[in-house]
């Protein structure tokens, strides 16, 4: 029997999040939760939604993969000429969302977005499998193409062109870093009275923790 979408619901009771058990540093708190997501063997725990908006203010969102993080921010890689790349170049602000369903947890991150250094982009690109490296050259991301055969033919041409050669990083491909000004940790709780702790960066660079009503 089909179930109405409005009737789909689940009560959350896995864990609690309080000011006393949360780390005062949001990056340390993220590290702890990310490690738990890894230990739980969640599928692609580094998958995250990134929302962007161009100069016209129209929002757009899609899922990308987190490829690095530290106290400078959260890094992912893409084609700079893609839709999200162009939006970020026009309006360098973004929002990230991680959803770890099995742990009943969500992390939201908002901040300015900047390109990572060429050295960082080169280092990550060189760590990718050869087929992925060629794919960065072969795909004009977000552009309209006639059919899939166009991609497959381009990849085959690139394989022949680079056979026995080192594949260098395309100048239109590299990393973005989301430098957070706010990070919110959300823990599902019973009766929809969820725990929400917001870390907000102050002008002096320190973080202030506030509890939000669910």
Residue with tokens 């129209």: 58
Q: Quote the CA–CA distance of 108 and 89 in Å, as a whole number.
A: 22
Q: Quote the CA–CA distance of 95 and 93 in Å, as a whole number.
A: 7
Q: Are 15 and 187 contacting, i.e. CB atoms less than 8 angstroms apart?
A: yes
What is the phi/psi pair of residue 87, to 5°?
Answer: -60, -40
SS3 state at 48: strand
User: Which of the following is catalytic: 10, 192, 196, 211?
Assistant: 192
Token pair for 67:
């490829």
SS3 state at 196: strand
Residue 169 a catalytic site member: no
Positions annotated as catalytic residues are: 192
């Amino acid at each position: 029997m089909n179930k109405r979408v409005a009737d789909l619901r689940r009560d959350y009771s896995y864990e609690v999040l309080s000011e006393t058990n949360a780390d005062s540093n949001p990056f340390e708190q993220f590290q702890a939760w990310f490690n738990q997501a890894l230990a739980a063997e969640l599928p692609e725990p580094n998958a995250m939604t990134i929302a962007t908006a161009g100069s016209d203010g129209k929002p757009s969102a899609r899922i990308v993969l987190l490829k690095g993080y530290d106290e400078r921010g959260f890094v992912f890689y893409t084609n700079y000429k893609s839709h999200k790349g162009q939006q970020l170049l026009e309006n360098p602000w973004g929002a990230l969302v991680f959803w770890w369903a099995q742990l009943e947890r969500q992390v939201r991150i908002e901040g300015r977005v900047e390109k990572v250094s060429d050295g960082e982009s080169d280092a990550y690109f060189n760590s990718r499998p050869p087929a992925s490296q060629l794919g960065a050259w072969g795909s004009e991301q977000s552009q309209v193409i006639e059919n899939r055969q166009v991609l497959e033919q381009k990849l085959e041409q690139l394989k022949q062109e680079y056979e026995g050669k080192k594949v260098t990083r395309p100048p239109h491909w590299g990393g973005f870093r989301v430098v957070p000004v706010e990070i919110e940790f959300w823990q599902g709780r019973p009766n929809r009275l969820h725990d929400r702790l917001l870390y907000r960066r102050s002008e002096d660079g320190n973080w202030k923790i506030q509890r939000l009503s669910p």
